[in-house]
Chains A and B, each alone.
Chain A
Amino acid sequence: MRHPTDGTLRRLLDEPAGVAEADRAHVAGCEKCRVALAEATRDADAAADSLRVDAATDVDAAWERLSRAAEHHPRATTRAPRRWRTLLRSPAVAAVGVAAVLVGAGAAAAGDWLQVFRTERIAPVTAPEADLVQLPELDQFGDVVVTEAVDIRPVADATAAAKASGLTVPKVGALPRGVTGEPTYHAGARASAVFTYRAAKAEETARARGRTLPPPPPGLDGSQFRFTAGPGFAVMWAAERPFPALVVARAVAPSAYSTGVPFATARDYLLSLPILPANVAAQLRSFSSDGTTLPLFMSVEHMTSTATDVGGVPATLLTSKDETLAAVVWLEGNVATAVAGPLRGDEVLAVARGLGPR
């Protein structure tokens, strides 16, 4: 008879009843398996020792704490605006918000919305995490009003996702090891927000950080910028888990529009502010002239980016340094596609390169 696997031996330690009678009988009479079992026992005991911890809890006190917190985080009507705020606040963030303002180019004519930024390229901006956390949030410079809230809903299938987003939902070829089952589909309409620059608010932000701002260029105070992104969809495997095993997402990439402000002036002013980390400002300045590069903020401590390609299209591969997370993102026209998951870089690339038309 073949020797039972290491996994079977391991289970024998915890749940002997879960192991087939034939395997148990084999182990009892097999010297090799008994040695392997002894090794498994040693490792299991050592792990139990290493992981031992006193975790006695006071459930009542914890429940009270959660009730208070949940009251402040109702999930009802405030949900959509909060998502926008969260989006604009997280460090990865700034990507769409501050960045679109900072790298937008061209002078806008008064009156109508004029496109000042469209995503044609994605480039990583790397900085120590401490600097990214310090990046100012858009609402520290003015007012952010959500005009079309982010509203991502589950949809029935690929056809429904394509219909809701107006985008092609690609067929996913071979799945990486460990990713199984049927995916769920989610789609969202276009989202947009209007940002109004407020000189007084910007000064307040600067003062809170012990800085003073140079006087703003004429016309900047009260001028407006509109950001849009989407529509889009996401295909997720194991969606009811907090962290899906694989996500394939596609969306119309962000654009920014402006009314009545000489944009180059606004951009130069914002980039000169003493509250932007110098290394971040320098990187943004380096591609601020074209108004077509979407910065992807990432911390040098955790992430590495590599230039690659997907079907001949330039792409950016991001991998976490502890090899627990990878994502590849690329643009075709104004449509951005990302494949991401708790996987290795070569695994997300294989999925990306294996996407086929449906």
Chain B
Amino acid sequence: MRVLVLFAHPAQRKTSINLAMADAARRMDGVTFVDLYADYPRFSIDIDREQERLLAHDLIVFQFPVFWYATPALLKQWQDLVLEYGFAYGPGSKKLAGKRLLASITTGGSERDYAVGGGNNHPIEQFLLPLRQTAFLCGMEFLPPFVLHSANHIETAASQAHIEAYANLLAALRDDVFDLDSAQQSSMLTRDDVARLTRR
């Protein structure tokens, strides 16, 4: 599959694991990497260019840190502007139909927070309902999100493993060797799932 990574992070500090993941994606062959905040620092999104990018790829990856249970502001604006009526939805004009959407997210809260009875009281995938429904309305397949919890407090070894797993996941999807049918059985993907579902 032709892979497009749309990375959205408004505060790219060197210590951010999200930034390291982005760098890994940026370096990959056969993967188009876009830093939305670098392309549109004033939020003036080029709608035509973004729509052409979408049409030229089969898998769209939203890579972002979760802020207040949602995407960063620019990625929300991107959805508002790029997924136009007559392009992404509307009668006879679902130009994105058949494509796949993957969210690669990091959360500040722990796995325990994102559980019934936890501080956030709901598993993370439930907070992604708007994205899932957006994909559905556009006729896209919404893949289980690739999630890293406790992103600010992770040990070095684990973070390294997550970054590698992210690169492997993108490569496997690019090369069509990722078992999507089995993946759809899970509510979310972790770094362990990547190795398990890759069929090389």
> Do A and B make up one complex?
no
What residues of chain A have their CB less than 8 Å away from a CB belonging to chain B? none
What residues of chain B have their CB less than 8 Å away from a CB belonging to chain A? none
